[in-house]
Homo-oligomer: A and B are copies of this chain.
Amino acid sequence: MDKNYLLTPGPTPLPPEICQAMARPIIHHRTPQFQAILKEVSEGLKYVFQTSSDVFILASSGTGAMEAAVVNLLSGGDSVIVVEAGKFGERWTEICRNYGINCEIIKVEWGSAVDPSEIERRLKANPKTKAVFTTLCETSTGVTNDIQAIGQVVKNSAAVLVVDAISGLGAIDLKSDAWSCDVVVSGSQKGLMLPPGLGFISLSPKAGKLMEGAKSPRYYFDLKVAKKALAKTDTPFTPAINLIIALAEALKKIKRDGLENIFLRHKKMAKATRAAIKALGLELFAPKAASDVVTAAVVPQGIDGEKLVKTMRDTYGVTIAGGQAELKGKIFRIAHMGYIEEFDIILGISCLEKVLKQMGYSFELGSGVKAAEEIFLK
């Protein structure tokens, strides 16, 4: 079979109008034509980020935007709190340490969400904390953290709340302003339905103040320079022009669909996927904090998890994700994020059933698909 279906937590499939936008002849970035697009996407991003603050667009992957958050807020020797509930939480620590920042780490068991009261405790114990680094959806474990509750805790401290929303933004709810998220970081290849290559970062006034004193060395990711440029509807360096043109299309689609409807669709797809996993007799990896953008399931006893993912992809063209780092071979992950709809989930579950059956796992054929159909029928 040579048709490809993508059910991975980034990149996610591209709507046809976005593919077509990517193919347009290039235009120059210092023209009224491009400035009009830059203005349009700057407004559209505020809608998706649910913020009135500026959202900066970087020519980088999401990790570049994470680094931008660290270097624009902090100086070497500063102290921060990092929530590590998976691989992407650990990335915050790695970046901070490379810049000489002291990290107080809240280690959360992989598969669980952080307890907001633990953040409160640590903030009280470390009153000099300048920032709290968190992850909206920890893609590596399929967990969503309760950012709203965390925002309640952090807003009463001197620290700013930084949220890695690379996975999740535009797919599940994140009210940047209402939930007191000072810095929200994202990327293009997830909920925004674009190819990878754009990073995004928003800064609240509280974060803007912190930026004034930040001494970490930086150039490409310097948001003070980006801020001056944005005020003139410009970018400091050559932007990723055609990705930004495609972003305009993505934002139009998101506005047309409506954020609330998009969130509901993701909730339903997640519910159906979880129901299917359970109907197949499989165990959810994160039953208490399961994310609405990616479902992680435990590979059953006696089944080779890496082979399962590989066979689905290389033999049947259905790409899901395996486990990362310590979870390699132990879990598999089905994403339901971005330009994915219910019948994409059905085909993914069907392919999972086929390969599990071929690998000798015992269950009633069709039971996963049926469980998902029941959810979608409601």
Q: Enumerate 22 A-B pairs (CB-CB under 8 Å) in ascending A order.
A: A4-B25, A6-B27, A6-B28, A10-B238, A13-B25, A22-B22, A23-B23, A26-B189, A26-B195, A32-B314, A59-B61, A59-B64, A60-B64, A61-B238, A62-B238, A64-B237, A67-B220, A70-B219, A94-B219, A98-B219, A197-B241, A220-B221
List A residues at the B interface (Cβ < 8 Å): 4, 6, 8, 10-14, 19-20, 22-29, 31-32, 59-64, 66-67, 70, 76, 94-95, 98-100, 187, 189, 195-197, 216-222, 236-243, 313-314, 319
A63 / chain B contacts, CB cutoff of 8 Å? 219-220, 236-238
A196 vs B14: C-alpha distance when bound (angstroms) = 20
A13 / chain B contacts, CB cutoff of 8 Å? 25-26
Q: Identify A4's interface contact among B27, B60, B242, CB under 8 A.
A: B27
A189 / chain B contacts, CB cutoff of 8 Å? 26, 238, 241
Inter-subunit contact A22/B25 (CB<8 Å): no
Q: Identify A219's interface contact among B22, B29, B95, B196, CB under 8 A.
A: B95
Inter-subunit contact A240/B314 (CB<8 Å): no
Inter-subunit contact B64/A220 (CB<8 Å): yes
Expressed in whole angstroms, the minimum distance between the Cβ of A59 and any Cβ of chain B is 5
Expressed in whole angstroms, the minimum distance between the Cβ of A182 and any Cβ of chain B is 21
Expressed in whole angstroms, the minimum distance between the Cβ of A93 and any Cβ of chain B is 11
Q: Nearest B residue to A193 by beta-carbon distance?
A: B26
| Given A6-B25, A196-B238, A196-B241, 15 extra CB contacts under 8 A | A6-B28, A12-B26, A26-B195, A31-B313, A59-B61, A59-B64, A59-B197, A60-B60, A61-B237, A61-B239, A67-B220, A94-B219, A195-B240, A216-B217, A217-B217
